[in-house]
Amino acid sequence: MMDGPFIPGDDFVLFAGTANPALAEAVARELGVPLGGCRIEHFPDGELSVRLLESVRRKEVYVIQPTAPPVNDMLVELLAFADACRRSAAARVTAVVPYFGYARADRRRRREPITASMVAALMQTAGIDHVLSVDLHTPQIEGFFQIPVDSLSAVGPICDALAGTLPADLAVVSPDAGRVKSATEFAHRLGAPLAIIMKRRESGTHTEVTHLVGEVRGRACLIVDDMISTGGTLVSSIHALREAGAREFYIAATHGLLVGDACERLQEAGVTRVVVTDTVRVPQREWSALRVVSLAPLLAEAIRRMVHRESVSEMG
Ligand code: R5P
């Protein structure tokens, strides 16, 4: 629910890219506005064409487009949208990118690019003036931009969805060092102790647990992460926790990419429940353990505040 009425002026337009139309429609419904008309096509050679079907001259434009798989296509589509808006004299372009692809390429490793920084540069060059995202993989990604970036937290909506469904003897587990801050917030909200796993990434699909800090014996564990891609991180976390005597496993992650056989891997690992949000289009699966929480109300409230010049960072 929004904190107040949304009263858009004539100068407000909300567009949806093709990455997650269901989320864009849900945000539009929350705001009580129609989605702007546009035509997105692929030519036979794979090139993309974006055409705005309405004027954006001097308007405040919002484009909802997570850069989710296929990441490169969705990214180029967002850039093309921004370029079309800029060349059509939009007053301001805000990219609503609930999931920011390439966020994990956020530091220099030997002879590798910092792709997240390159993506930030591309977005600005294309004409994006402001970025609204959710649970950015690391806060330093904001520093790759010279424009304002607001990153919302999904901890509140996920905790609300989990309320009353978790056992009393719960421990919240961070599956790596990078997730300790948000795991601490989950633990605080749920009134549960915290355990921390340290991992080493061996490849894109395989991680090794090196340490486990905290008491999990006999407990149910809620493992929290920003994203589930292949599920490798969570499966190796579950193995380590089971070896340490944990008895049941719950998962909460903001971005449910669930690529390939991730759902099957988690199912085989014996997960009781997986809660993800709709920042990306979650693959349709017949799996009763999987629950998707919509962030449309959160995103709509953030857009309402931006349009009404209210603080987004105070949303908590
Ligand atoms: C890593 O730092 C991230 O926070 C996730 O833990 C990881 O990227 C998830 O990927 P996968 O599901 O493929 O292990």
Quick: pLDDT tens for 4-54.
Answer: 899 888 899 999 999 999 999 999 999 999 999 999 999 999 999 999 999
- Tens of pLDDT, residue by residue over 83-107, are 999 999 999 999 999 999 999 999 9
Q: Cα(234) to centroid of ligand 1, in Å? A: 8
Q: Is the pLDDT of residue 300 over 90?
A: yes
Atom of ligand 1 nearest to the CA of 175: 6
Atom of ligand 1 nearest to the CA of 207: 14
Domains within the chain, CATH numbers bracketed:
12-153+296-307 (3.40.50.2020), 155-293 (3.40.50.2020)
> What is the structure's pLDDT at 314?
87
What's the rounded Cα separation, in Å, for the pair 309 and 306? Answer: 5
Q: What would the mean pLDDT of 201-215 be, rounded to a whole number?
A: 84
Contacts of 241 (CB under 8 A, 6+ apart): 173, 195, 197, 212, 216, 221, 223, 249
Closest ligand 1 atom to Cα of 233? 14
Catalytic, 199? Answer yes
CB 60 within 8 A of CB 91: yes
What was the pLDDT predicted at 35? 98
* Minimal-distance CA residue to ligand 1 atom 1: 104
Q: Which pLDDT band, with edges at 50, 70 and 90, does 207 fall under?
A: confident
pLDDT in tens, 140-190: 999 999 999 999 999 999 999 999 999 999 999 999 999 999 999 999 999
Instruction: Tell me the average pLDDT across 235-263.
Output: 96
Given the residues 199, 255, 265, 281, select the one marked as catalytic: 199
Give me ligand 1 centre to Cα 156, in Å.
21
Per-residue pLDDT, averaged over 107-112, amounts to 89
Q: Which residues, judged by CB distance below 6 Å to any ligand atom, belong to the binding site of ligand 1?
A: 104, 175-176, 178, 207, 225-233
Q: What is the mean pLDDT of residues 194-221?
A: 89
More confident residue, 171 or 111: 171
This prediction's pTM: 0.95
Taking the CA of residue 257 as reference, the ligand 1 atom at the shortest distance is: 12
- The CA 226 to ligand 1 mean position distance, Å, reads 8
Mean pLDDT of the chain: 95
Residue 173: count of CB within 10 angstroms of its CB:
33
Instruction: pLDDT band for 285, please (50, 70, 90 cuts).
Output: confident
CA of 123 to the centre of ligand 1 (A): 24
Mean pLDDT of the 123-137 span: 98
Supply the pLDDT for residue 129: 98
Q: What is the mean pLDDT of residues 256-271?
A: 96
Q: Choose between 21 and 207: higher pLDDT.
A: 21
Share of the chain above pLDDT 70, in %: 99
Q: Check pLDDT > 70 for residue 316.
A: no
From 102, 182, 203, 228, mutation site for ligand 1 pocket: most ligand atoms within 8 A of C-beta: 228
Report pLDDT for 222: 98
Sequence-distant (≥ 6) Cβ neighbours of residue 15 within 8 angstroms: 24, 35, 36, 38, 52, 61, 62, 63, 64, 81
With bands split at pLDDT 50, 70 and 90, how would you rate the model's confidence at 258?
Answer: very high
Higher pLDDT, 175 or 208: 175
Alpha carbon distances (Å) from 165 to 66, 171, 179, 190: 29, 14, 22, 11
Highest mean pLDDT among 3-7, 192-196, 198-202: 192-196
